[in-house]
Structure 1
Amino acid sequence: MDLRLSIRLEAILKEGWEMIRKHRDDIFSAWLDKCVELEDKQHAAAHPLRLAVDVFSSQWLDPMNDIDEWLASFRREWEKRNGELSPNQFTSILSMMENAVHEAIQSDGVVEFRVHQAVQYVFSKLLESVNASGCPEFDFEQFLSQIVSSKQLPIAWIAQLARTADGGFIVAKWHGSAADALTEEPMYGETIFALCERILSCIDASGTRLIPLPWGGDLLLVCAEGEDRLVTPFLLHTLEQFHAARKAAIRTKEQQLWKDAVLLFDQWIMRAKSLNEAIEYISTGFVAYLPFERCALFAYSSTHESGFGLYGYQLDNHDIKSIHEHIDSLPFIKQYIQRLQLLGRQMTNVPPIYVRHAAQGLPMKYVKQFQLESIVIAPIYAPSENRLIGAAILDCGPKTSFQLSNDLYTAVMKFGQSAGEILAKCSGGRSDLVQPTPHLSPREIEVLKLVAEGASTYEAAKRLHLSEYTVRDYVSAILQKMNAKNRTEAIVKAIRDGII
């Protein structure tokens, strides 16, 4: 299985669009109210907004099956109605519409961050698509049609051929002005030669040559008229240029994908107000915005040269937190850390580690316990502090193997940097993350809150209807669990880690 970042990002786009479609009546009403408001004020944006609402109305019933085609369809409709708007006006109109969508679905009780983020992502891609108006579209069929339509080339038509089940050839699509006799019924031949003979028998073959031209996974049949000596080399050169331009466009799109994923992930984890929240958001974010199914987050202590579990998402959290290993038991990770240390302060990007078979790098007890096959180890690294904080171990579920695409590899590395920075910020300047704070009972948290508010033992006992001796026992237990020397230190740690 080849993992691609586009899979997860397309799922987020579809989630956002389905949410918009689900609440379309309320959204449409909100947009119309905005139009009326702007018209009453004779605002310049009133007419463009009405046209933009018409564009969306034409798309309501369209599911987002093919993302690229859906965006292209939206762009074409937009250009028809709003073709003269500047990029700044595009942005203003779409932002106005997006704000109304958020308000409408929130009024319907939808408050989840991920849902609103998915809606935001839909509008960001629409804006990106509209602003890309005028850029070349690398559609192969459109490209062939443009070649045929050129008046300067002696090409009558180009046919795209397809293989049949019996190994023969059939014309799948014609480009150009093929004779009616050729297009009335399917053109088939057991071989390329037989197909060419049949085609020539249906047309005036004088001065006509049929040139079979294989290109990538396609097989083309070019009908050249008159002097065709330069047709084949010209077509080969043109196809080569098209191929190079399309590859460059694909690379650009891949780069945009990992940037989109990093932006969504950063928005997700930046909400953290405590170390515990940061740990949870990072673990869930690796799965929410990348095509993985499970994430185990670990901290690394350079002082003790060991790692310990912080959080498991889609895994047994208790099992992950109980893991504590010295790096001597993880030879390939030890070698990796040693290589990083040799680089010193020269590190900016710390690449992830892809392990095709987990049994070749991890202790067998964990491979069997969690049924690991292929894994990715994403270093949690804070570039601003030149510090390795830990790692996230990611996979696609029990006994599932996979390979990484280039865009996903880059995204994993950037996620690790973002996670490192937020953990460095939430760790309060500590050189190593400490083991997660032991669980406090609800009563212990109540006692700690009262102590933090300045209540004495007597006052806390009175408010909780307990004896002073019982409150003192609770305070002693809290200090012990939190490894704090006194009440003040316990309060500081509790506030920092989001316990109170």
Structure 2
Amino acid sequence: MSAPIRVLVCDDQVLIRTGLVTIIDAQPDLATVGECGDGGTAVEMAERLRPDVVVMDVRMPVLDGIKATRRLAGVGVAHPVKVLVVTTFNLDEYVYEALRAGASGFLLKDAPPDRLLNGIRTVATGAALLDPDVTRRLVGKYAARIRPSDTKDETRLTPRELEVLRLIANGLSNSEIAASLFISQETVKTFVSRILTKLDLRDRVQAVVYAYRHGLVT
């Protein structure tokens, strides 16, 4: 049996933090290794405990979640940590800044528990996650700012790869794409890997941005 995914929870509201810890620790494949109430402590604890994923709030004292994410997962960090931003604030600027800071995903606190748990598992694997409720509005507004120098030609993708890319941009998971196209999840993973490689993209978040910037999704 593989070791559980190690999670650090950072939220300045004690009740919410306790609730997140309770939900996470109830899962056999997840385990919290610590909790804290500000971004500064999160950075210190993450460097010491080396969690697989940090569940990070945005608005916090001492150091906010965006700055803490940049210190943990930003460009040039020696030992980057995967960060899943979870916040009550459904504001475009928070999503954009969190992703620019290096976060692997973004969820709202009113998301159902299973979406949070799946989000942690998804981010832990190295994949990226965007709450489907905010993806379209976010990328539509900020796509030109995220990759302003992108000049790649999507015609290098096969018709099936383009189809998968459009579904990714619409917020579908691998399982949902598999069901939509009547193919296996392993085949979807292969398509996603090919898309990222061909377009020189880091993860699904950049794939979503690429699709919007090139008019593949409206």
TM > 0.5 between the two?
Answer: no
Q: Higher RCO, 1 or 2 (CA under 8 Å, sep at least 6)? A: 2
TM-score, normalising length from structure 2? 0.30
TM-score, normalising length from structure 1? 0.14
Larger Cα Rg: Structure 1 or Structure 2?
1
